[in-house]
Amino acid sequence: MEVGHVSAFLLSTLEVLAAVFVFGCGLGIIAVAIIYVIDRNQTAHAVRRNYPVIGRFRYLFEHIGEFFRQYFFAMDREELPFNRAQRSWCYRAAKNVDNTTAFGSTRDLRVNGSVIFVNCPYPTLSEDAVEPEPMTIGPTCAKPYRTDSLVNISGMSYGAISRPAVLALSNGAQIAGCWMNTGEGGLSDYHLEGGGDIVFQIGTAKNGVRDLDGKLSDDKLRDVAAFEQVRMFEIKLSQGAKPGKGGILPGAKVSEEIARIRNIRVGEDAISPNRHPDINCNEDLLDMVNHVRNVTGKPTGFKCVIGAYGWLDEVFEEVHRRGIDCAPDFITVDSADGGTGAAPLPLIDDMGLPLRESLPLLVDSLVRHGLRDRIKVIASGKLVTPADVAWALCVGADFVVSARGFMFALGCIQALQCNRNTCPTGITTHDVKLQRGLVPEDKAVRVASYCKNLNHEVGIIAHSCGVPEPRRLKRFHARIVADNGKSIPLNELYPDQTPREVAC
């Protein structure tokens, strides 16, 4: 091609590009003008009405601000509900990579409420360490449950979390040898596929064990109990993030399959009652526990957030009036700062007692009433790291369950979009495109690794305190920082306990 032709070609190309640019600018100006008119005349947003077009940036910055804070501005120990240090430990444990730390701790031990474990001058040697002994729940049941699992998967409903998430948790639980709670959404094939132990939760809507009118169905109870994997039944009175409010599953998540499992309508918000309509008092609660246990033959207990804690004494007094065999086989106590897919802000922020206060209240009440050996205690609520679990064991928990810890194992990045069907990691969404990122086969291994590493490092704390296994941790093995900056032993803060062995 001659030089003149090349020049002509370049000139014509530039003319085309210039025309496209002018045309694009024209469209841009028209679009801005349209947005200006819309903003100026709408009445919903004062900022956009007074500052058309540019006022929209305020909402954009507000939205992306939470991501900038998470990745650029917040320090390792600042974020809520879980800070970067906690999440990082969970991620490394799930990936089964080195979880050691160099140079020194970034944790400020002067903060009021900080828990400090007291090391023994003669810690437990590796050859003297033992695995947690199996514990029997519901010894008087036709089919008691005996397990040595310390850390287990808390209730997360199929519907609130996705199919691949349930599959990964189910298979991971089987590999790790822990149990998995169904949550109040009923029992799906995906819960059963992994082959691990299952705790079936009966929520206030009785999903999965209800008739067409929403009432408890004995036939459906027997159908669920017929699965050997289903080891226990848990009646949910309340959960930490929303005590006094039933479960909320947005209609966008209610597919035909979920509707079939729960026996509800497709596409409609599934809002459970704020309590069981047929449980109006302590007598009704014990009636329900015994009814489910008699129909299924399996251990049955209840889950609650403790608020009016005088209620516990009344429940246990009623147990003694009826006879100890009528007692619930376990009580799951949930913390006020527990997690959920969706909850009203006043409840998630301001209702119920945190586990730091409610767990010792429950344990001490059981001790006073002579029911500590009969009723097992399961602790729930932000127990995602070894120190969290070890603290709960020191206070008196028999088992620990976690939901969000295992969500981190699945890859949760704390995007805070659980209620929108837009979860970027595929855990709490039913958008197939987003679910593609969660490969159940890979994540099941991470779930198991997280559980095993969490148990292992709780054991490290126990051995440092001088006991051979975690369940032998007692209140004198931990101290808590008070207002004056000094720490006091937990057994002085909560002295009402059964006799303990001498400290190391």
Class of residue 441 by CB neighbours under 10 A (exposed 0-12, middle 13-18, buried 19+): exposed
Question: What is the residue-level pLDDT of the chain in tens, covering all 504 positions?
Answer: 555 555 665 666 666 667 777 767 778 788 888 888 888 888 877 777 777 887 777 666 666 656 655 555 555 555 667 677 787 888 888 888 887 776 767 777 778 888 999 999 989 988 888 888 899 999 999 999 999 999 999 999 888 888 999 999 999 999 999 999 999 889 999 999 999 999 999 998 899 898 877 889 999 999 999 999 999 999 999 876 666 666 667 777 777 888 888 887 888 777 788 889 999 999 999 999 999 999 999 999 999 999 877 899 999 999 999 999 999 999 999 987 766 655 666 666 557 788 999 999 999 999 999 999 999 999 998 899 999 999 999 999 999 999 888 988 998 878 777 777 788 888 888 788 888 888 899 999 999 999 999 999 999 999 999 999 999 999 999 999 988 888 999 998 888 555 445 455
Relative to beta strand 135-137, strand 115-117 is unpaired
Using H for helix, E for strand and C for coil, what is the string for 152-177? EECCCCECCECHHHHHHHHHHHHHHC
| Residue in the structure block whose two tokens are 């709408």 | 42
The reported pLDDT for the residue numbered 343 is 62
CA–CA–CA angle 277, 279, 280 (5° rounding): 95
The runs of H, that is alpha helices, within 369-437 are 386-395, 404-410, 432-435
In the three-class reduction of DSSP (H, G, I as helix; E, B as strand; rest coil), residue 95 is classed as helix
Evaluate the CA torsion angle 421, 427, 431, 433 in order and state its sign: positive
The reported pLDDT for the residue numbered 417 is 75
**Per residue in 215-227, is it b (16+ CB within 10 Å) or e — as a string?**
ebbeebbeebbee
Instruction: Locate 203 and state its tokens.
Output: 């929520």
The reported pLDDT for the residue numbered 224 is 95
Cβ neighbours of 64 (radius 10 Å): 10
Evaluate the CA torsion angle 32, 36, 38, 39 in order and state its sign: positive
CB 138 within 8 A of CB 298: yes
d(CA 141, CA 401): 23
d(CA 435, CA 443): 12
d(CA 67, CA 70): 5
DSSP string, 61-90: HHHHHHHHIIIIIS-TTT-SSS-HHHHHHH
The reported pLDDT for the residue numbered 499 is 47
Instruction: Locate 9 and state its tokens.
Output: 């070609």
Amino acid identity at 391: W
Instruction: Locate 471 and state its tokens.
Output: 């369940």
In the three-class reduction of DSSP (H, G, I as helix; E, B as strand; rest coil), residue 455 is classed as helix
CB 165 within 8 A of CB 410: yes
Angle between helices 440-464 and 386-395 (to 10 degrees): 50
Instruction: Locate 387 and state its tokens.
Output: 């120190």
d(CA 217, CA 174): 29
Relative to beta strand 270-271, strand 248-249 is antiparallel
The reported pLDDT for the residue numbered 500 is 46
